[in-house]
Chain A
Amino acid sequence: MMRAFFFAAGFAMLSLPALAATQAEAEAALAAAQTTEAQAVAAKAAWTSTEADLAAARKALAAENWDAAKAAADEARSQAQLSIDQANEQKTSWRTAIFH
């Protein structure tokens, strides 16, 4: 009985960080997303969808909803990276779309 309790308590503690983001994690995720998006903007490759995710992350952060903030920031970062990849790929492949 006791063993089961400790086991459950330990498991809960272990899994806690994965379930709930801390403020520090949410802030770090946002900072990372902003850095990647700044690179996308500089490359003239940015997407409005990334900007929307960033705005959602900032709003959630202000509302102290760390989970939502981190999730939106992570999404923004992955979108920003995709937009940079798109621009790099298109640097050469745009020519294949010329119809004339």
Chain B
Amino acid sequence: MVIEMPTQSDGENRMIKANKRTRFSVAVSVVCALMLLASVPVKAADATNPEADRKAFQAFFFAKFPKVAKDDFANGPYAVNEGMRKQWKEIMEFPPYDPALDEGHTEWDKPFANGKTYADCFDNKGEGIRQTYPRFIAATGQVETLEGAINRCRVENGEKPLNWMTGMMASLTAVMAESSRGKPFDITIPDDPRALAAYERGKEFFYARKGQLGMSCASCHVSPAGERMRGDILAPALGILAAMPIYRSDWGSMGTTIRRISSCSAQTRSLPLEDNGEDYRDLEYFLSYMSNGIAIAGPGTRP
């Protein structure tokens, strides 16, 4: 067996090679660091770009459901499941939200104790404006939902606020949705850092995993949309608020957006948050903005 001892020049050669390698890896690190530095400002610039988000969000759902017409996304499970659609057509012969609409119209026309009415609180007397809610209110720096605007109207006119989840609140939003049917969601995010921050918080809420089950809104309403979960068909996140408020047979009553979001939170074993708190308002702002262009179809009915 011959063991080749490295000659002097071999050793030197290796050292030179090692040196070269070190220099090379230093150079690579420097380039990497520069690339990282260069990418930071780029990332910051496109971190909050609602319009780019919306286009990509909608493109995903249009590609996932090529046969579903754009405005049909408002119909949630019925848009993506043929069997349920048939059932729905039958239910709609006598829409179960009709009593709520009747109740809502009566309440809407009834003056407050001070003689003012709901119509006095809204643009265009409250007709055909639901698609513009939630709105960013510059004076408060906060997002206001339709329910928030109704309760603010009541309180400013000396009336008690309504329950956020069901009952008269759902009846009133049903009336406002009905007069806005067919009008595409038209949510505005003004160029105000507070509005962009609210949008970004809403986006985070949608994607962040919560609850003991570690699920996000996206976990159920993006990739698995259209699939069956227990007895339900999962609605696609696109247009998911366009039919609010809804009558759900499962509840046996009407529910507002907040009711629906709270019950989804509870499904993940996440403790629902404050009814009209910033978290849900911002979430609704994000989700509604993602649906810009999808026509309002509320009030809706669901299994």
| A, B: real partners | yes
Q: Does A35 make an interface contact (CB < 8 A)?
A: no
Closest A residue, CB atoms, query B270: A47
> Which residues from 256 to 271 on chain B have a C-beta closer than 8 Å to any C-beta of chain A?
266, 269-271
Q: Is the interface of B mostly helix, strand, loop or mixed?
A: mixed
Considering the chains assembled together, what is the distance between the CA atoms of A83 and B204 in angstroms?
17
Q: Mark B49-60, 1 if CB is under 8 A from A, else 0.
A: 000010011011
Q: Are B60 and A51 in contact (CB under 8 A)?
A: no
Q: Which of B57, B207, B266, B271 contacts A94 (CB 8 A)?
A: B207
Q: Mark B269-292, 1 if CB is under 8 A from A, else 0.
A: 111010000010000000000000
Considering the chains assembled together, what is the distance between the CA atoms of A98 and B222 in angstroms?
10
Q: Which of A51, A87, A95, A100 contacts B53 (CB 8 A)?
A: A100
In the complex where A44-B279, A48-B271, A99-B60 touch, is A90 in contact with B53 (Cβ < 8 A)?
Answer: no
Which of chain B's residues have a CB closer than 8 A to the CB of A45? 210
Which of chain A's residues have a CB closer than 8 A to the CB of B270? 46-48
Q: How far is the CB of A60 from chain B (nearest CB, A)?
A: 21
Interface residues on B, range: 20 to 34
Considering the chains assembled together, what is the distance between the CA atoms of A49 and B269 in angstroms?
6
Q: Mark A37-68, 1 if CB is under 8 A from B, else 0.
A: 00001001111111100000000000000000
Considering the chains assembled together, what is the distance between the CA atoms of A83 and B213 in angstroms?
10
Which of chain B's residues have a CB closer than 8 A to the CB of A36? none
In the complex where A44-B279, A51-B271 touch, is A94 in contact with B211 (Cβ < 8 A)?
Answer: no
Q: Are A97 and B212 in contact (CB under 8 A)?
A: no
Q: Are B207 and A95 in contact (CB under 8 A)?
A: yes
Q: How far is the CB of A24 from chain B (nearest CB, A)?
A: 29
Q: Are B60 and A48 in contact (CB under 8 A)?
A: no
Interface residues on A, range: 20 to 34
Which of chain B's residues have a CB closer than 8 A to the CB of A90? 208-210
> Which residues from 56 to 100 on chain A have a C-beta closer than 8 Å to any C-beta of chain B?
79, 83, 86-87, 90, 94-95, 97-100
Q: Is the interface of A mostly helix, strand, loop or mixed?
A: helix
In the complex where A44-B279, A86-B214 touch, is A97 in contact with B271 (Cβ < 8 A)?
Answer: no
Which of chain A's residues have a CB closer than 8 A to the CB of B216? 94, 97
Closest A residue, CB atoms, query B274: A44
Q: Are B212 and A98 in contact (CB under 8 A)?
A: no
In the complex where A86-B214, A95-B207 touch, is A47 in contact with B53 (Cβ < 8 A)?
Answer: no
> Which residues from 192 to 232 on chain B have a C-beta closer than 8 Å to any C-beta of chain A?
203-204, 207-212, 214, 216, 218, 222-223
Considering the chains assembled together, what is the distance between the CA atoms of A7 and B163 in angstroms?
67
Closest A residue, CB atoms, query B56: A100
Q: Are A47 and B208 in contact (CB under 8 A)?
A: no
> Which residues from 43 to 67 on chain B have a C-beta closer than 8 Å to any C-beta of chain A?
53, 56-57, 59-60
Which of chain B's residues have a CB closer than 8 A to the CB of A41? 271
In the complex where A86-B210, A100-B53 touch, is A44 in contact with B273 (Cβ < 8 A)?
Answer: yes
Q: Are A99 and B269 in contact (CB under 8 A)?
A: no
Considering the chains assembled together, what is the distance between the CA atoms of A79 and B214 in angstroms?
12
Closest B residue, CB atoms, query A79: B212
Considering the chains assembled together, what is the distance between the CA atoms of A79 and B266 in angstroms?
16
Nearest first, the 3 closest Cβ-Cβ pairs linking A and B are A100-B56, A46-B271, A94-B208
B residues engaging A (CB < 8 A)? 53, 56-57, 59-60, 203-204, 207-212, 214, 216, 218, 222-223, 266, 269-271, 273, 279
